[in-house]
Structures are given as C-alpha cells and as structure tokens.
C-alpha cells in the first residue's frame, strides 16, 4: 500500500462545501491521475469543523459514535460494497493512499448470534471522522482507467449531498405497540429453557423478545441517532443499513477493540436496575455483585471469552472480580479481558474467534443454538450480531448490537433479551427485558408497558 503526503495549504472555513472540496482536491489531481490502475485509491484531507458539523446534523448511510470518536459515511465503492473477509484482505494489498490523515476504513457486520457466520465489509466512498479533536474527510474510489476528474466528480457529488441542509427534525407520537412473543408465550419459552437446562442440555441460553412500535409518521433515523448519542455516555451509538431499512443501536457491549497487537473484549452479563437515590443504587449494586445466579452467568461469559482469546493471543489477563458498568436505567457486571495478539492477526481474526459469546447466545454454544432453532427464535436485522469498523492496518472495533431497533418507515422493531439459567423466573426475566426496551422507547417517545416497579426490584432482592 503506497502512502503519499503533501503539505496542505490552509483553506477558508467559510467556503461553500462544494467550493471547499474543489480547492482541497486541486493540489492532488496529478497524484490521483498518476495512481496505478486497477487499485483502490484513498485521499485523506483535514476538514473544517463547520463542515463536519453540517454532516453530523444531516444524513449519513452509516454512523458510528464513541465517547472519543465520531464517524459518518455515505456511499460504497462499486464492487466493494459487500466484501467477504478474504476479499477485504486482498483489497488491502492493492491500495494507494494519499494524504496524511487517518487510514481508510471499512464498516463491518456479522449475523445475529443464533445464525452464526462470518463478517461482511463495506468500503465507504466518503468518510467523515472526528478523533482527538481532528476532523478528517477520507475519499475512496477504485482507480480504473478513466480520467482522474471522473473520480473526483463522483466524490464532489457525494459531498454536496452529504452536506446539504437537513430537514427540520420532527417528533411523531406513538400510534400502537405490540409484543412478540406476548407475555404468556414468553413464560412458556422461559419454562422450556429452564427444563432443558435442568435436563443438562446446556447451562445457559439467551431468549429474546421484540416490541413492534408504530408511529404516526415515518421515523427519522438520523435524528434518532443524534438523540441517542446525547444520552449514551458509554458504549457505541450506531446506524447501519439493513435489508429493509436500517439498524439503530446504543450498545454497551464491545466484543473486540484492537489497537496494534493489543486486544480487549468486554464481558457484560448480569443485570440490575438503576435507582434515583445513591443509597438505593449502591444497595442494588451490592445485591447484584452477591447474586449467585448473576455471578455464575457472568463467569460463563468471562470463561468463554478467555478460552477463545487464548487461540489468538500469547498473553491474557483479566481482573479477578467483575466491575460495574452503570447506564441510565441499568447496571451490568463487567469484566474486560485483555490479550496480546499473535503476529499477523487482525480484528477479523478476533471476531472469528469470539462471535458469538454466551452473553447473547448461551453456553455451551452448539446446544444453546440448537435449542433456539428448535423453538423458532428468529432475530431480524442485526440484533445480537455485530457492527463495527476496521482500518487498512487491521485495527478497529466490533460491538455487539444490543439496545437496538430495526427502523422501516413508520415502524420500529425493538429487541431485548435475557440470559436464562436453571433458576430463572419468567416474570423477572420479562421485567429485565422491559428495562432494556425502555432505553429505546424513551427516545421514540413511547412508554413501556405497565410493570410494577416492585417486580423489577424483586429479581435482585
């Protein structure tokens, strides 16, 4: 992969987006024209904050927001919109990079836990990224034998559309809600799972339920993503295209974060509600830490992640006791598992080793997956799958898609799940999923179904 950096001249921050990009591209036209044919080509430019904010408040195909980083993209490079892992790795060997900005990235997804399967990647044409106070625009295309101006013209058209003024945000009331499965079917499924656990088929299985929320007007997914980011101080907010619309999530669970050879996977299992007073909240946290069922469920996840990481890491470590991740409505037992990856491996190797974990499938994995298929557990979209990104150096992040909804027109399909152990109570597990659904319902403007607060508390009492 070739990298060329030229000095950048200061550019006025008050220029119209199209004029700014035309001026920014001008010094690079000769290098773009001289780039080898039948190769990928990327150009990284420093971007004025004002133009970044135009995109942040507008429309994007894909959104990735972390506490210290934001990424927005439009378009996908023709022929590189749905790549296998092998095709991505081949592409990385035939890639010319211009500019001194961040490495180009591909966004990635992997199927929901019960389905299994490898990652697929999509290479964005335009990527806007803000990290460590620096805003960048990364332009990517396939360098064929057309004039360089043809490629830069395509970039300019995308950029103008991406920086066009956004429509005024509107709020639509909720028209109706429907639970699938309903309360009675949920109880039956939890009982079937606990019976299978007592029969020694497996130790744990994760059951999921869906709430279909219909609004009176089409849902503005970009506006929802912005509202989610305001309330998500931990984890990742994401918006990714799906078969019939898009997936939105504010997920607290990171399957893999790779920087250099350092790899971290977050074990997140064991849940309790939050409370408005410090005394109540601390008491609930102590109860969660001391609950045998929750600790055993958490230990299964830590054990599985550690075993998987030993296949790809030379060194491994994790704290002996779990900590807590505290979200606005929930708190979770949390253990970061850290490793030093073997030479030559990348984030996609970590994903192949780790996904799915028992936190979203069950343990052992094979019989838990078989049970879910027997009981027709169907998770649409990306729920309990993965979303993330990888750069051309093999670094990146993959998050488990939780606290999410599939958005299509006026409809949002919200998902939540619960880890079922031998002693699980159907009503307590329903109450836990209600709290998880509320994360997204609050943003949509809906209200959770009436569940006595005492029942939410009883699970950890």
Query: Considering 125, 154, 253, 406, which one is annotated as catalytic?
Result: 253
End-to-end CA distance of the chain: 58
Query: CA-to-CA distance for 297 and 269, rounded, in angstroms?
Result: 7
Identify the burial level of 39 via C-beta atoms within 10 angstroms of its C-beta, where 0-12 means exposed, 13-18 middle and 19 or more buried.
middle
CB distance 32 to 151 below 8 Å: yes
Q: What is the CA radius of gyration of the chain?
A: 23
Query: CA-to-CA distance for 73 and 42, rounded, in angstroms?
Result: 14
Q: How many CB atoms lie within 10 A of CB 134?
A: 13
3-state secondary structure of 311: coil
Query: CA-to-CA distance for 43 and 152, rounded, in angstroms?
Result: 10
Beta strands in 304-447 (DSSP E): 313-317, 323-326, 330-341, 362-363, 386-391, 396-400, 404-408, 411-420
Query: Considering 70, 125, 204, 239, which one is annotated as catalytic?
Result: 204
Query: CA-to-CA distance for 77 and 207, rounded, in angstroms?
Result: 37
Nearest to 341 by CA among 259, 233, 457, 426: 259
- From residue 454, give the alpha-carbon distance in Å to each of 148, 197, 278, 292: 66, 28, 18, 21
Cα angle 274, 179, 365 (rounded to 5 degrees) comes to: 75
Query: CA-to-CA distance for 455 and 245, rounded, in angstroms?
Result: 35
3-state secondary structure of 14: coil
Mark whether 253 is an active-site residue.
yes
Query: CA-to-CA distance for 79 and 72, rounded, in angstroms?
Result: 20
Query: CA-to-CA distance for 338 and 310, rounded, in angstroms?
Result: 10
Mark whether 283 is an active-site residue.
no
Query: CA-to-CA distance for 16 and 58, rounded, in angstroms?
Result: 16
- So which residues are the catalytic ones? 204, 253
């Amino acid at each position: 992969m070739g990298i060329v950096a030229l000095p950048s001249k200061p550019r006025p921050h008050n220029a119209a987006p199209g004029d700014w990009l035309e001026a920014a591209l001008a010094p690079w036209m000769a290098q773009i024209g001289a780039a080898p044919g039948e190769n990928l080509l990327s150009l990284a430019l420093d971007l004025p904050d004002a133009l970044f904010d135009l995109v942040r408040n507008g429309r994007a195909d894909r959104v990735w927001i972390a506490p210290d980083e934001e990424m927005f993209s439009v378009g996908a490079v023709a022929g590189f919109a749905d790549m296998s892992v092998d095709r991505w790795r081949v592409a990385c060997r035939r890639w010319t990079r211009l500019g001194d900005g961040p490495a180009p990235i591909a966004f990635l997804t992997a199927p929901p836990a019960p389905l299994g399967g490898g990652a697929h990647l999509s290479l964005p044409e335009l990527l806007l990224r803000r990290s460590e106070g620096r805003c960048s625009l990364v332009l990517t295309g396939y360098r064929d034998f057309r004039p360089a101006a043809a490629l830069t013209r395509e970039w300019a058209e995308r950029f103008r559309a991406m920086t066009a003024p956004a429509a005024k945000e509107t709020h639509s009331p909720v028209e109706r809600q429907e639970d699938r499965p309903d309360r009675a079917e949920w109880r039956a499924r939890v009982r079937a799972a606990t019976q299978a656990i007592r029969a020694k088929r497996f130790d744990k299985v994760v059951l999921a339920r869906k709430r279909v929320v219909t609004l009176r007007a089409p849902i503005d997914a970009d506006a929802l993503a912005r509202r989610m980011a305001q309330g998500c101080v931990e984890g990742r907010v994401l918006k990714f295209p799906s078969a019939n619309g898009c997936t939105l999530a504010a997920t607290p669970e990171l399957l893999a974060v790779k920087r250099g050879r350092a790899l971290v996977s977050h074990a997140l299992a064991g849940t309790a509600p939050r409370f408005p007073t410090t005394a109540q909240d601390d008491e609930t946290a102590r109860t969660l830490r001391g609950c045998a069922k929750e600790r055993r469920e958490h230990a299964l996840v830590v054990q599985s992640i550690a075993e998987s990481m030993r296949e790809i890491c030379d060194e491994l470590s994790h704290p002996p006791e779990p900590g807590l991740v505290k979200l606005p409505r929930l708190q979770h037992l949390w253990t970061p598992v850290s490793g030093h990856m073997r030479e030559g491996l990348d984030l996609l190797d970590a994903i192949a080793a780790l996904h799915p974990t028992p936190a979203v499938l069950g343990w052992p994995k094979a019989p838990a997956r078989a049970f879910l298929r027997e009981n027709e557990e169907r998770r649409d979209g990306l729920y309990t799958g993965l979303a993330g990104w990888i750069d051309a150096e093999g670094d990146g992040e993959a998050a488990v898609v939780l606290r999410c909804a599939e958005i299509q027109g006026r409809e949002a399909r919200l998902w939540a799940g619960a880890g079922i152990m031998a002693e699980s109570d159907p009503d307590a597990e329903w109450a836990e999923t209600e709290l998880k659904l509320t994360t997204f319902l609050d943003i949509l403007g809906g209200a959770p179904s009436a569940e006595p607060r005492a029942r939410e508390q009883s699970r950890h009492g």
